[in-house]
Amino acid sequence: MPETPTDELIGRHDEIRQLDALLEAARESRGGALVLRGEPGIGKSALLRHLDAAATGFLVMRASGAEFETELPFAALHQLLAPVTDRLMALPARHRKALEIAFGLDTGTPDPFLVGVASLGLLVETVRERPLLCVVDDAQWLDRASAKALAFMARRISAESIAFVFAAREPSRLPELDELPGHTLQGLGESDARALLAEAIRAPLDERVRDRILAEARGNPLALVELPRTAGLAGMAGGFAQLDSVPGVIEQSFRSRLELLPPAARLLVTVAAADPIGDPGLLWRAAELLGVDAAAAAESAPLVEFGTRIRFGHPLARSATYHAAAPEERRRAHEALAAATDPVADPDRRAWHRAQASAGPDEQVAAELEASATRARERGGVAAAAAFLERSAALTIGPVQRAERVLAAVQAKLSVGDFDTAAELLTTVRTDDPSQAARADLLRGRLSFVRRRGDEGPTKYLLRAAARLAAIDPAWSRECYLDAIEMGLLLGGLDHVVEAVRKDPPSGESESGAAAVLTGLISLVSDGHRAAGEILRPVVGDADDEVWARRPSLGFMVANELWNIDAMHGIANRAVTAGRESGSFHALPIGLAMQAAVTVHTGDFGAAVELISEEEAIADATGAAPLVYPRLHLAALRGRRKEAVELFASVDHRMSLSVQWATAVLSNGLADYPAALNAAKQAVEYGPVGTAGLALPELVEAAMRCGETETAAAALTSLQERTQAGRHAWGLGVEAYARALVTEDESAYQEAIGLLDDGTLVVYRARAHLLYGEWLRRQGRRRDARSALRLAHESLSDLGVEAFAERAAGELRATGEQARSRTSKASDQLTMQEVHIARLVADGATSKEVAAKLFLSPRTVDAHLRNIFRKLGLTSRRQLRDLPDIR
């Protein structure tokens, strides 16, 4: 396609300045990204050509999205990185393997975000030689896996000599691109549009014709050039051209030119449009199978550039070519491409072409697509698997097999967030098989949960599935009931779930952990904690039970309800280990958040900060919202009023229970007992399982300080039910000091201190010393009080439990003794991420290793280290290792 006057870039001075500034910043190791957005023909490709010319001294790497490759995982990423894959050996082995799997060079399941980290590492290795410009055209057609990896890299190059520029149509179908800095191209102003039209049409032009072209084009540069070709100047002057849209104008122009091509050339460009790879060898083989003289036909096809890669002159030219072809002609093209594709080297693309060539149901092709879906899923291409399965189901004749494939496609569609298609596919499931019907209900439950979180829809479907399976598959039925219970807890209700289990219980007896947990939770709701404790305690005590492997969140909540901190630790640790081994960036953050929360309660705030930082790094990398509850636990116990209140105010209303508990703890530490009482009352109003149990000792303490003894006594009774059910030192110790508050029995304080004499329970032992010391002071026993309060203050200060430490200091002053001032810690001056980096470096990690763990570039890690050194007055990593409160 010949160059058009749009290359003059009339009216794009601001955009050129923006792109030039991006390049200049990259030259100075201040990398960045920009997404150019706009309708077809608005000038995005012309700006990319300018960028290419302006990038002197840069290595320019390119990729282009293709409409027919949107379901093939990592297709565009492979295209971008192809010129530098010879540097793979410079990457750590795990990263190298991730890319090799993603690009089909090895077998296995790639971690999509490890692929992003590895790709970033590959760019960092490349940029050592010269600045790097990554240009991605037609980004609206990126496959989802590539979009995630590219956006991940584009967000992490601020300290690198790298610039990313994407060009995408509006509206965007990829939320990953929406997160990057963007600029939307508008139509040219009238004077610029007139200037461009004058460049495009050198001949004299009737004023009415000019006005009509300008009005129809609405400032779109390509439309200004193509409109005269499409409608003809005479037709436009007479007002006969009724043009609906600018893309329609441009596509019609391309179709008009297609009609002028010889049949062989037209068939050749149809084949080129049907294959987005752009591989000349593949195109020539397909043309030979169709009996087309490719060399001769190519000379007659000006819409396409036939070089080392087959490229259409404009994105809409490909679309116009493909859709202008008759259905039979498109099927012939795909059939030839399938026959020309190597079935061993590229079986999935061959299966896809065969599917597009099918005019009706074809079980052989459907089976090939199903096999392709399995391979795609193994490579991490869930979106591709979903597309293969959807098409496979459409080509399947047998109703039972078709239902199986539809259900598998729905599962895959849910995994990639295509909820509308999943819902539409579910409506097509027709089956008499109870197992398939149950699976359909389970998928409806998942869909209802992600679409309308907060209603009873999700549990309704899970319960219906469980009831279908109760007689034919009792074990699966129990699993469904437990899933419904876990979801019920997340949505805020258990009663209706328990009632449903009673109505349709799974048949037979079982010794499994799932059966025991189901029975125990039903007993907890029906009969209370004491009765349930006998059933639940053995299962909760076994963190390795498979029931918790599938539902670590449920296990964590139940262990918390029974005040068993060892079980909480075990379940959280197992979840983290499983998440790391599987590479699941859904499971790992949950495990890290649980591990961080329980670590807060054991008093290791530094380790908790590290875990929270890692969870937030994953959330940032994946685009998910970070799990806030471990930060609430940390803020509550650390007791920094301003920091905590700001956090509490920012939290989503769905976390209100945790916020109320955290407010109660913070307020008790600050000796603001009325505020603590109000918050604790609200927290304990929640159901039988959750943070409500943790709020009970806070309610006892606040109520006694406010003179509400009946409220305190009732809360103590509820607390005793839970701690006696769990029979763990943590719960029994906390219950003992809560009982001491209500009864003023000195032996109960001493009992609490003895029970909490464990290295993992130091926070609660220090609080027990504080309460005991306060009681002794009120009894006039100043000497004994000083001893208890001194122990409390020293322990709380060393741990960083600042509000309670200050409360202990105030009590000490009331006895006539001055508390020692708290020594400022180095970590107090650092952000959470800086603490995490400092701890990793202090433990001997290199910048590359830290970068890999936190999804950053090594230069970004080095920039953070410079900030850390400046804040702490250090000059070397060795000095960092010598800071005890960092390590």
Q: Each residue of 398-437: pLDDT tens digit?
A: 889 999 999 998 888 777 667 778 888 888 888 888 899 9
**Euclidean distance between CA atoms 884 and 887, whole angstroms:** 5
Q: Each residue of 98-131: pLDDT tens digit?
A: 888 888 777 766 666 778 888 998 998 898 889 9
**Euclidean distance between CA atoms 605 and 599, whole angstroms:** 7
- The mean per-residue pLDDT over the stretch 223-239 comes to 54
**Euclidean distance between CA atoms 544 and 2, whole angstroms:** 68
pLDDT bucket at 381, cuts 50 / 70 / 90: low
Instruction: Say whether pLDDT at 36 is over 90.
Output: yes
**Euclidean distance between CA atoms 834 and 218, whole angstroms:** 51
Q: Each residue of 784-829: pLDDT tens digit?
A: 999 999 999 999 999 999 999 999 999 999 998 888 776 667 667 7
- The mean per-residue pLDDT over the stretch 771-790 comes to 95
Is residue 192 a contact partner of residue 11, using CB atoms and an 8 Å limit? yes
Alpha-carbon separation of residue 31 from 28, 159, 542 (angstroms): 8, 6, 50
Helices and strands (DSSP H and E) totals, the chain: 48, 7
Q: Each residue of 596-641: pLDDT tens digit?
A: 999 999 999 989 999 999 898 888 777 677 889 899 999 999 999 9
pLDDT for 22: 96
Which secondary structure element, helix H or strand E, spans residue 407, and what is its range? helix 399-415
pLDDT bucket at 57, cuts 50 / 70 / 90: very high
Alpha-carbon separation of residue 412 from 56, 377, 385, 483, 819 (angstroms): 44, 9, 7, 19, 61
**pTM, to two decimals:** 0.74
**Euclidean distance between CA atoms 200 and 211, whole angstroms:** 15
Q: What is the dihedral of CA 444, 445, 449, 451, to 10 degrees?
A: 10
Which residues are CB-contacts of 557 (< 8 A; sequence separation ≥ 6)?
489, 689, 690
pLDDT bucket at 258, cuts 50 / 70 / 90: confident
Cis peptide before 171 (omega within 30 of 0): yes
Q: Which residues of 182-197 are buried (b: 16+ CB within 10 A; e: fewer)?
A: eeebebbeeebbbbbb
pLDDT for 348: 83
